Amino acid sequence: MKLPKSLRQLSLRQKLIASSIICLLLPAAITLIVSSRNTEAVVKRHAIDNALGTLEVMDRYIVNTVNKMLYVSNYIQFDSEIGSILMQQWNESRVGGEDRSVEHFLNARKITEKLENISFPGEKTHITILLNDGTSYTNYSHLDYDPSRFFQEPWFGKLTELPSFATYWIGTHPSYLATDREKGKYLITIAKTIKSFSSEPYGYLIVSLSEERISEFRAKIAEQEHMLLDSRGTILSHADTRRIGQPFSHFRQLSDKDKATLITVNRKDYLLLHRKLPFSDWMLVSMVPYRAAVAQINTVQGTNFILQAVFFAVFLLILVTLVRQFTKPVYRLGRVVAQVEAGNLNIRTRIQGGDEISRLGHSFDRMLDRIEEMIRQVTLEQSRKRKAELEMLQAQINPHFLFNVLNSIRMRIKLKGDDENAALISSLSSLLRMTINRNNEFVPLHEEVETVAHYFRLMNFRLAEPIVLKTDIAPDTALAEVPRFIIQPILENSLIHGFRDYPGTVSISAWKQEDRLVLQVSDTGRGMDREELERLERKLAKAAVPGEEAAEGLSGIGLNNVFERLRLIYGQRFQYRIDSRPGEGTTITMQIPLQSGESHA
């Protein structure tokens, strides 16, 4: 979009100030218009969200409380010792028998002690185990309540109809304990039927918790009216204990979904919300005064208008000041760019700060530094390049010249009948060729074994007592690709550490095992005791840096570096094992993934 000519003639500072004022006034005006229409809805939604949040907190507390009651009932019902005693008491009541009053007293004491030990911080759980023959076990005094009176409760007959392990929700009722009943307290109670293996009921488990705990928690977290209802709309818990057990008059106005409903009670509007609990169709209900929630709308709107006017004036003053400061680096950067364009590469912006313009200035300065550095590097590289070309001309000796000279010497020695020394020179030439030739990282196994044989022939030439080399390479593994120089360092390790100027044998074996190539190098040297072997394995497990702790030899790498290189190539697929005994020698077995000759072409 093309700006009007009058706007295009303004300076950058003027454009920023004008744009900021327009961007500030336009949203403010729209906000005031829209907020006057939507504030009431927002406040209503806020009140609903607060009430729903309170219901959620109460939901968690009540669910946690009920879960404690269920935990207590399940713990008692599945306790093996209690179950054994109750089953024994039931069987004796059916068949009669000798007097076991002492045993019954001890059993009753065990159960009572267990029931008395079941408690939660700040909460008292009343537990009753009642058998069909009238025997009862409780964690409260029988002077407060006789458990046999539960048989006369109207809900008691429904317990026998329950399936095994089912829970009957009795709900809220006046406390049956004399000490609590005098204070007008209520209890929330659940019950279970204890059945035999033949599903015959022989006892009942009744767990009660004080409703006062829920009322106290509800009073702490909310000032609105909250209550707990059962599936029929009967009030189970309320701040006013006189309403407990009474029907809730607006129960039918509760919708199936958890959403707010506007109701009128005594000419006052309330937001009615509810939340179903995950057990027994109980629900939490909240009544939030509607007018009290939206009464501050006009005050909020007036305050909002005054604040916006004040903020606009303050913003305008701050904006003019800041824009002048913000645009200074831009002018500075423009002047520096003009001088660089004129060819002055020594000038810098020197802009300080951490904003985008400052970072741009820093980047521009670093770019100029980089350009100067590149100019110096190009000059230096040209000088080094000319020097390197000269050194290359001086060092241009083809490695094949060295091989040809060695072959010529070997042929002369052989013509004179010295076949042994001719063979040594041939081995040295082959080994040197293999060492210098680094075109391929992988070689066929038979070529790796040939290199080891040449190395072995040269090492025997140095040793006072020759070492015998035996190879047992399975024909189907000869062409398998293996990394270069993985056997030679192991043999070198055996020659240096396994033998000390006395004869012996070193064996190399290879065979296939499923999709793996198994390489085994063993010697008849001095071997290692358990402590030396463990120290070596710890060293190998650390995967030391190549060459750092390796034995010095022809290849320049040691046993540690061989394993580390195989780990880098094959990862977890590479496995090895070291077996050694003092005086019997050492065996190293390696397993690597099998590679064909085409895998690394």
Domains of the chain: which residue ranges? 58-213, 222-294, 301-391, 440-593
The answer to whether the 58-213 and 222-294 domains have the same CATH topology is yes
Residue 53 has pLDDT above 70, yes or no: yes
* Host H or E run for residue 16: helix 12-77
Q: What is the mean pLDDT of residues 540-546?
A: 58
Identify the bridge partners of residue 209 per DSSP, sorted by sequence position. 125, 188
* Host H or E run for residue 136: strand 136-138
- For the beta carbon of residue 286, count every other beta carbon within 10 angstroms: 24
Q: What is the mean pLDDT of residues 102-127?
A: 77
pLDDT for 600 equals 47
CATH class of residue range 440-593 = alpha beta
pLDDT for 410 equals 66
In which residue are the tokens 């009343």 written?
126
Residue 2 has pLDDT above 60, yes or no: no
Residues of the chain with pLDDT > 70: what percent?
A: 76
The CATH homologous superfamily for domain 222-294 is PAS domain (3.30.450.20)
Instruction: Supply 229's token pair.
Output: 């209802």
Q: How many CA atoms are closer than 13 Å to the CA of 263, on its beta-carbon side?
A: 18
CA separation for the pair 514, 511 (Å, rounded): 10
Identify the bridge partners of residue 506 per DSSP, sorted by sequence position. 469, 523
Bridge-based pairing of strands 235-238 and 225-229 is antiparallel
Q: What is the pTM of this model?
A: 0.41
Question: Pick the residue with more confidence: 580 or 417?
Answer: 580
Bridge-based pairing of strands 201-210 and 125-131 is antiparallel
Residue 127 has pLDDT above 80, yes or no: yes
CA–chain centroid gap for 178, Å, is 54
Assign 259 to helix, strand or coil. coil
- Which stretch, 148-162, 309-323, 412-426, has highest mean pLDDT? 148-162
What CATH number belongs to 58-213? 3.30.450.20
Q: What is the mean pLDDT of residues 95-122?
A: 73
Residue 543 has pLDDT above 60, yes or no: no
